Structure 1
């Protein structure tokens, strides 16, 4: 019995320290940190292109009301940035299928006329499923919140079976456009992701002279990641002469690390880093001087790439995936019902705030996302209020939404708060395509987000794993 009490005390103490971390000044200061990010322009333009094509097509064909839902389908192109194209094709398709299913599901909820408290509960269950699905298949990007947002948007639009069919069809068209936009670069730069991964590995190797022994593990991990990306680029690509050059270059990078560790010799480290700039050029292939004939290490055999479907299905059974899904379900439901209790206009926005926060990799990341989302929503709500008060026409709204989408994609790896600053007005304008929305909605968005962030962080703290000790550093 005493041992049990000690275990409970340890968990309580761990949760208490997590909550203390969430309100410490240092934690809030870190939320304003801006990280360095590379290769962000191409993915951002890819998503902007997909959204623009859908908007223009919808406007010209007279389906302006459905353009917002179609654009949500096109946002499938925002997932899987930097993935090798064969794998990207599958992952974007998995996201697209999920978006179509969630729009149809949300449309059915709207047509059924369920009361709001029931909608919150049902969509929270769906959010748990979305979390498990996204995490199991490693569908990195906007996360499960986009599925719930799509379902919520469809619920607000539909009132009949024909509305459900129209919303689902519009989303399907958007998904197809998003998939094509995501895959178009493969025609020009088939080994683009592998070249970028190799360039990042060379940066990590080149940093050894500056950071010392602390840089060995990151450099080795970056090299292994580059090999894995190259292997997953497709059999025809790995047999290509440039792919063989990239494999040999990664062998040299491994040799450089080993030589530096064994003898402190930086000659090869410096030499290998010189290829990084060439790999970042928009070229199908490069002449990598002194690399093609260097295969002395014998490491050029690439790892067998994992299958996305098989690996994802196996992860669905993992305790970590289930644990996160349950946390998302609880936080979403609690946030939505509390928002209803205090009388806010859009309680499902509170649920989505909690879902977004719980996408954090660990508790420290969860708190940072919460702070950044709250502050970004405040600024974004002000921008949205101005835009909504301006009573923009369809084409003006299209231009603004596309610009905001590109801005969000440019900032997503830099600072989540800056991303939210763009996402908040964009989301409100997208809602405006399917149903009327007033400038006051910005205020409601802030209140809902505050509720969702607080509930999400509290549930994350109460359920934090004792193995998660990042916040204690």
Structure 2
């Protein structure tokens, strides 16, 4: 391999620690944090924190469309939110049907491929199937019955509605009304951009195969939560250059390993429900501040939140939780790195076509 080819394939270690600009991230970060925490507070007041995953993933629609004009952002959040709600309800239904672990892994892998494809075609931001794989995986592996499916069908759309309302709230301010009065502010349709259809299809295939392989390895090894490995297997696929994808894989691995250390310290304090929900809000806000700057730093905040979700249902074995999250991440990242390197030439870009 020539030096030029090697440079285009492998990232530099310094790339792992590069930071992007702040880009006024505090406003969308606050909006996402409120959208996630408010439904949890309502469920806590109602005494139904077992429905927390259904609420959380409906609310994650608020993370989509950052930087877009308000109406375009609402449109993207509605599109992605419908997909998230469907994943939540499907996951609850599969769990209620006592679907074997292998069947659950297959379902999550198919959704990983489909969500990657739709995300690229609809030009969602953030791109990729992360939220859909995570939402379906969590809800499919959490014990459920018929009543849980009904709850998911109500709670997830309600959380989505709250997220959309949070995005619309800014339109009530004088600044928001002025923005909507402009031509750009009233546009719903996203501008066309160059679309590499071959790369789109290849990425969807990689997401399907990588998540399936990681999930099956986890099931075969007796891991309790195979979807953790599956999430780690799809996250690095986002991006057009292999070097960029490998940086993202490194971020996923190192950020998660640092995050589990922080999670162990926080959960060892055995915070009560109120403090857990407050902690989720702080962590979500910090994660949204960091996500466009350095994905590895984002995982430092996301990982304690993800593991803390288990603590909402009652006491957890912190040591076991931390170890298995780490092992699953290593499996998922290892699988996808092999696939990304193996498909590097296949994904070498030709002239992309303009999306219709």
TM value normalised by structure 2: 0.88
* 1:48-447 map, 5 Å: 48-141=33-126, 143-188=128-173, 189-190=175-176, 231-234=183-186, 307-308=189-190, 318-434=197-313, 437-439=316-318, 440-447=320-327
Give 1:403 deviation, angstroms: 0.4
Kindly state the Cα deviation for residue 21 of structure 1 after the two structures are TM-superposed: 4.5
Residues 119 and 127 in structure 2, CA contact (< 8 A), matched pair in contact too: no
CA–CA distance in structure 2, aligned partners of residues 381 and 365 of structure 1: 24
Q: Residues 127 and 329 of structure 1 are in contact (CA less than 8 Å); yes or no, is this contact kept in structure 2?
A: yes
**Structure 1, gaps ≥5 residues long:** 1-12, 195-229, 235-304
Distance in structure 2 (CA, Å) of the matches to 1:157 and 1:340: 15
User: Displacement of 1:424 after TM fit?
Assistant: 0.7
SS at match of 1:80: coil
Give per-residue Cα distances to partners, 1:125-156, cap 9 Å, x unaligned. 11111111222111212742111111122123
Q: Deviations over 1:15-41 (max 9, x none)?
A: xx669944xxx6222111122222111
Q: Mind listing any 5+ residue stretches in structure 2 that lack a counterpart?
A: 351-356
Task: Note closer, same or farther for the CA distance 1:113–1:18 as it changes in structure 2 (3 Å cut).
Answer: farther
Change (3 A) 1:193 1:466: farther
Q: 1: distance between equivalents of 2:239 and 2:316?
A: 30
Q: Deviations over 1:240-296 (max 9, x none)?
A: xxxxxxxxxxxxxxxxxxxxxxxxxxxxxxxxxxxxxxxxxxxxxxxxxxxxxxxxx
Rate the CA distance shift 1:337–1:410 in 2: closer, same or farther, 3 A: same
In the superposition, relative to structure 1, how do residues 168 and 438 fare at CA in structure 2: closer, same or farther (>3 Å)?
farther
**1:389 and 1:438 in contact (8 A); partners too:** no
C-alpha separation in 2, matches of 1:192 and 1:461: 48
Query: Which residue pairs with 2:354 in the alignment?
Result: none
Aligned counterpart, 1:242: none
Count of aligned positions = 346
Give the superposition deviation at 1:325. Answer: 0.9
Q: Is the CA contact 1:388–1:438 (under 8 Å) kept in the aligned structure 2?
A: no
Give me the whole-angstrom Cα distance separating, in 2, the residues matched to 1:66 and 1:170.
8
Aligned residue number for residue 19 of structure 2 = 34
Q: Which residue of 1 aligns with 2:348?
A: 467
TM-score by length of 1: 0.67
| Preserved contact between residue 58 and residue 64 of structure 1 (Cα < 8 Å) | yes
- Distance in 2, Cα, partners of 1:143 & 1:433: 28
RMSD: 2.9
Q: 1:417 to 1:327 in 2, by over 3 A?
A: same
